[in-house]
Amino acid sequence: MKFSTSELLDELKNRTQQHLHFAEMLSVKPEGDLNFRLSEDSWSALECLEHLNRYGDFYIPEIKHNINSAGKPSRPYFKPGILGNYFAKSMLPKEKLNPMKTLKQMNPIYSRLDKTVIDTFTEQQKKLLQLLEDAQYVDLEKTKTAISISKLIRLKLGDTFRFVIYHNERHIEQIKRILVHKKEEKISQKA
């Protein structure tokens, strides 16, 4: 399987734009709704975004550094790596999401959060959009990045972008489900 580099980057930019617009929509919601959790041990909407921010804190500088030091020009096609493709595909939202364990330092549960989390996420999405623009000039296969769980494992830049953006999408879908439940709870309390 291989992708047209320009089509892949366009698809990832479109997804990131959608994530940015969704975050802007969240900023007008009441903080109480954004801190609502479905159960004692589940994340709130703000905790989902904080989780993504923590990953962004690692991946955005890592991607930027590797784009800036890339020596190879872009190629018309991108062929995913076996491991990178597996990681990226595992992040895509599915009808029934399989819960995944998260690293302790990436788990924001029980954090005291406010809307500044949304501002951070919004800024990170803008940086990601710029990095996707910059990536059109480098080889998405030869340029590699470390991953958050190990500096020893390096993924192709194209796979890293896919992983990060699909991971964002996965948790945005989770936030949507949380907010639907919160809305249903409000309606049932009024009845």
| Gap between the Cα atoms of 12 and 6, Å rounded | 10
SS3 88: helix
For the chain, the domain total comes to: 1
- CATH at residue 123: 1.20.120.450
CA-CA distances (angstroms) from residue 86 to 83, 129, 188?
5, 23, 41
pLDDT above 60 (res 191): no
Q: How confident is the model at residue 38 (pLDDT cuts 50, 70, 90)?
A: confident
pLDDT at position 81, please? 97
Residue that has been written with the tokens 């819960």 in this structure:
99
Residue 107 burial (CB count, 10 A): 15
> What does pTM read for this prediction?
0.92
Q: Which domain holds residue 159?
A: 3-190
The mean pLDDT of the chain is 91
